[in-house]
């Protein structure tokens, strides 16, 4: 557990929890939340994440002061793939590589709903972006953001009218191949089941989860 008001595991002022392989990394915005959350989490961690109902119950039962979970983002699954388990997508649409910040990718983001654009994280990638076009417009795109020179956090977005056609798998496959070629470990974070299916089709294995909590005393 780390006290960090500027943690990127959640919005400012929130608590972030990442669970991987039975271990947990927790960031809290202020030191006063560290002890109650540490105690509550000891009985709320499960194999693949956090039992939120049990966590809330244990916090509310504290004798030394009530602590409540006011709002939750997630949980989202965390999945990973290495070169041996990667299943590349060779069939389907033609995939084009664009430079990061290309205005055609910006057009895809602008046309998406705010929720879809934020969920994808595509505006935050630092890699090249792999895209599929329809009628000249980018309708699917994928890239990644490098974390600590070790992990490649994937971002994928498909235009609403073009989903279910395998385009996300095609562009994500190209991005994953590039990340593996750079010696990085691809990471896929997803809440929607459709996104999780794409990851599994590429060989990703779900190994943990991430959740953000707004906790108040």
pLDDT per residue as tens digits for the range 143-184:
999 988 999 999 999 999 999 999 999 999 999 999 999 999
Token representation of residue 153: 């956090």
Q: How many residues does the chain have?
A: 217
Mean residue pLDDT across the chain: 91
Domain 96-201 superfamily per CATH? Gcn5-related N-acetyltransferase (GNAT) (3.40.630.30)
Angle between helices 167-181 and 193-201 (to 10 degrees): 50
What pLDDT, on the 0 to 100 scale, is given for residue 45?
Answer: 83
What pLDDT, on the 0 to 100 scale, is given for residue 64?
Answer: 61
Token representation of residue 159: 């235009």
Q: What's the rounded mean pLDDT across residues 21-34?
A: 88
Q: 88 versus 7: which is more confidently predicted?
A: 88
Cα-Cα-Cα-Cα dihedral sign, residues 38, 44, 46, 48: negative
Band of pLDDT at residue 139, cut at 50, 70 and 90:
very high
What pLDDT, on the 0 to 100 scale, is given for residue 155?
Answer: 96
In the chain, where are the structural domains located? 2-76+209-216, 96-201
Q: What's the rounded mean pLDDT across residues 11-33?
A: 89
Condensed to tens digits (0 to 9), the pLDDT of residues 48-100 reads 788 888 888 888 776 666 778 889 988 999 999 999 999 999 877 799 999 98
Q: What's the rounded mean pLDDT across residues 97-115?
A: 93
**74, 213 Cβ separation under 8 angstroms:** no
Q: What is the value of pTM for the model shown?
A: 0.87
| Lowest-confidence pick of 16-30, 152-166, 191-205 | 16-30
Considering the chain, what percentage of its residues have pLDDT values greater than 90? 64
Cα-Cα-Cα-Cα dihedral sign, residues 26, 31, 33, 35: positive
């Amino acid at each position: 557990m780390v006290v960090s008001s500027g943690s990127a595991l959640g919005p400012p002022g929130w608590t972030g929890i990442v669970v991987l392989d039975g271990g947990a990394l927790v960031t809290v915005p202020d030191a006063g939340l560290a002890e109650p959350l540490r105690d509550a989490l000891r009985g709320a961690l499960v194999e693949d994440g956090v039992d939120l109902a049990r966590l809330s119950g244990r916090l509310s039962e504290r004798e030394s002061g009530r602590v409540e979970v006011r709002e939750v983002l997630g949980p989202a699954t965390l999945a990973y793939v290495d070169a041996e388990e990667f299943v590349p997508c060779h069939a389907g649409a033609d995939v084009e590589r664009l430079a990061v910040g290309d205005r055609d990718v910006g057009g895809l983001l602008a046309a998406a709903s705010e929720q879809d654009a934020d969920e994808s994280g595509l505006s935050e990638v630092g890699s090249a972006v792999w895209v599929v076009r329809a009628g000249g417009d980018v309708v699917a795109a994928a890239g990644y953001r490098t974390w600590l020179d070790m992990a490649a956090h994937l971002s994928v977005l498909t235009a609403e009218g073009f989903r279910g056609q395998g385009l996300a798998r095609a562009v994500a496959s190209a991005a994953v191949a590039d990340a593996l070629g750079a010696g990085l470990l691809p990471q896929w974070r997803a809440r929607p089941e459709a996104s999780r299916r794409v990851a599994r089709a590429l060989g990703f294995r779900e190994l943990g989860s991430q959740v953000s909590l707004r906790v108040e005393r």
